[in-house]
């Protein structure tokens, strides 16, 4: 059974409930400030002492800046959410003292309840009781100062309970966010395990298909060498050459495997990896490159095989084509992902390429395409040169947002 991959620093941070609580509470505090400022600004022309609302707006802005910065720079403070929630409640009482009861204050009080819910979840019930009590006292004081229609009085008396409802909403939001964050992180770990398993399977296949077969041939030749030395010296000489050539081939294949492992950078967009690989090859080979790349993200195994095909195709161009320009095109067409490598060189040789000639790399490219359920086509271009087209099913490809 595979061990879980170690969590990254970011994953460890987001597994911490304090970090999630701080992030959600920052959002609630900012929304609370926005709603309170809008409510206060709307009431500037309706109240007898608008300067009090101005003081409230300034108070809310200052309190929000302080709270947000504290939670940004010291998110661990949320590990003691009761104290932070009580401090926020004292801020609510301070806002009431600055402006007295009013619609802007009740908006701020509802935001305080929501922040307590985001910090404490349903453990915030005692804090909500304190906040609702303060708001009911403010509502009764408000009704005592003003003569209002009955329906408005009901609305004012409902404001403290609306704050409790906002608090419950904040608690629900915290529970949902906690669950979703954990689900996403679990999915990331599952994806990492799957990618690691796929990479091991691919590596095992590469070793079996190339290096293992070569070493097996070397082993057979080495086993036959002692008896051939006694009976058939000439055959022994040939076997010795075979062993030497086999060892060199194995070393070359091992280098190729290591190079293949370094081809891809899965954290980068696929098109960016192709572009970097192509530019590097162009600088080394001295052949101009034209790129036409769709923004798609194939699976990890598909990325690797397509990059190997691209590398082999470019190697063939450098060795055999005498080309001046190469076109690399990546497109999704007719439910297929198509990688085209086309050059303007001397074209295909007269002899049909196969495993017995110098174009054995074409067979390797074909096998890679077939391993993905796709195909490889090599053809002469009407304008001269050669076109290599690797095709894989589009179900193995995820379009990026920019490429949709």
Domain count for the chain, please give it: 3
Please tell me whether residues 231 and 323 are part of one structural domain: no
Task: Indicate the residue among 243, 261, 279 that finishes a domain.
Answer: 261
Residue with tokens 């990890």: 300
Can you give the pLDDT at residue 326?
Answer: 92
Please tell me whether residues 257 and 274 are part of one structural domain: no
CB atoms within 10 A of CB 192: 16
CATH number at residue 371: 3.30.565.10
Please tell me whether residues 355 and 379 are part of one structural domain: yes
Please tell me whether residues 300 and 236 are part of one structural domain: no
Can you give the pLDDT at residue 252?
Answer: 61
Please tell me whether residues 21 and 164 are part of one structural domain: yes
Please tell me whether residues 311 and 215 are part of one structural domain: no
Domain assignment present for residue 161? The answer is: yes
Can you give the pLDDT at residue 339?
Answer: 92
Can you give the pLDDT at residue 219?
Answer: 63
Can you give the pLDDT at residue 354?
Answer: 43
Please tell me whether residues 216 and 325 are part of one structural domain: no
Can you give the pLDDT at residue 402?
Answer: 39
Can you give the pLDDT at residue 358?
Answer: 38
Can you give the pLDDT at residue 350?
Answer: 54
Task: Indicate the residue among 163, 189, 215 that finishes a domain.
Answer: 189
Q: Residue 331: which domain range?
A: 270-399
Please tell me whether residues 51 and 152 are part of one structural domain: yes
Can you give the pLDDT at residue 44?
Answer: 59
Domain assignment present for residue 404? The answer is: no
Percent of the chain topping pLDDT 90 = 6
Domain assignment present for residue 50? The answer is: yes
pTM for this entry: 0.47
Please tell me whether residues 344 and 219 are part of one structural domain: no
Domain assignment present for residue 1? The answer is: no
Domain assignment present for residue 2? The answer is: no
Task: Indicate the residue among 164, 189, 214 that finishes a domain.
Answer: 189
**Segments in the chain below pLDDT 70:** 1-18, 42-50, 75-76, 78, 188-189, 191-266, 348-360, 396-404
Please tell me whether residues 86 and 204 are part of one structural domain: no
Domain assignment present for residue 76? The answer is: yes
Query: Rounded to whole angstroms, how far apart are CA atoms 120 and 134?
Result: 19
Please tell me whether residues 125 and 45 are part of one structural domain: yes
Can you give the pLDDT at residue 357?
Answer: 40
Query: Rounded to whole angstroms, how far apart are CA atoms 304 and 256?
Result: 13
Can you give the pLDDT at residue 28?
Answer: 86
Tokens of 371: 């391993």
Please tell me whether residues 14 and 150 are part of one structural domain: yes
**Residue 118 near residue 28 (C-beta atoms within 8 A):** yes
Domain assignment present for residue 299? The answer is: yes
């Amino acid at each position: 059974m595979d061990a879980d991959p170690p969590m990254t620093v970011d994953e460890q941070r987001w597994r911490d409930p304090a970090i999630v609580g701080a992030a959600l509470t920052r959002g609630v505090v900012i929304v609370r400030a926005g709603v309170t400022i809008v409510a206060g600004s709307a009431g500037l022309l309706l109240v007898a002492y608008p300067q009090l609302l101005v003081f409230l707006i300034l108070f809310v802005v200052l309190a929000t800046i302080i709270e947000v910065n504290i939670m940004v720079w010291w998110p661990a403070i949320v590990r003691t959410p009761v104290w932070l929630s009580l401090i926020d409640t004292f801020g609510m009482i301070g806002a009431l003292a600055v402006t007295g009861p009013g619609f802007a204050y009740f908006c701020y009080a509802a935001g305080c309840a929501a922040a307590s819910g985001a910090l404490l979840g349903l453990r915030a019930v005692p804090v909500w009781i304190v906040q609702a009590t303060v708001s009911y006292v403010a509502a009764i004081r408000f009704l005592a100062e003003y003569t209002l229609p009955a329906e408005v009085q009901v609305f004012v008396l409902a404001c403290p309970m609306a704050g409790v409802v906002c608090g419950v909403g904040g608690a629900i939001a915290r529970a949902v966010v906690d669950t979703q964050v954990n689900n996403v992180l679990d999915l990331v770990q599952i994806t990492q395990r799957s990618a690691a398993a796929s990479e091991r399977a691919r590596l095992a296949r590469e070793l079996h298909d190339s290096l293992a077969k070569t070493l097996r041939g070397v082993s057979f030749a080495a086993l036959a060498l002692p008896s051939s030395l006694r009976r058939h010296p000439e055959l022994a000489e040939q076997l010795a050459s075979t062993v030497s050539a086999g060892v060199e081939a194995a070393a070359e294949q091992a280098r190729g495997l290591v190079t293949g492992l370094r081809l891809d950078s899965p954290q980068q967009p696929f098109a960016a990896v192709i572009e970097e690989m192509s530019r590097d090859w162009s600088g080394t080979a001295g052949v101009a490159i034209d790129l036409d790349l769709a923004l798609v993200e194939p699976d990890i195994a598909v990325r690797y095989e397509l990059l190997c095909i691209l590398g082999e195709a470019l190697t063939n161009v450098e060795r055999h084509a005498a080309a001046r320009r190469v076109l690399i095109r990546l497109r999704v067409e007719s439910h297929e992902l198509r990688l085209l490598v086309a050059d303007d060189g001397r074209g295909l040789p007269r002899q049909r390429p196969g495993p017995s000639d110098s174009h054995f790399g074409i067979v390797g490219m074909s096998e890679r395409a077939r391993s993905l359920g796709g195909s490889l086509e090599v053809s002469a271009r009407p304008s001269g040169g050669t076109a290599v087209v690797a095709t894989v099913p589009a179900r193995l490809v995820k379009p990026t947002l920019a490429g949709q």
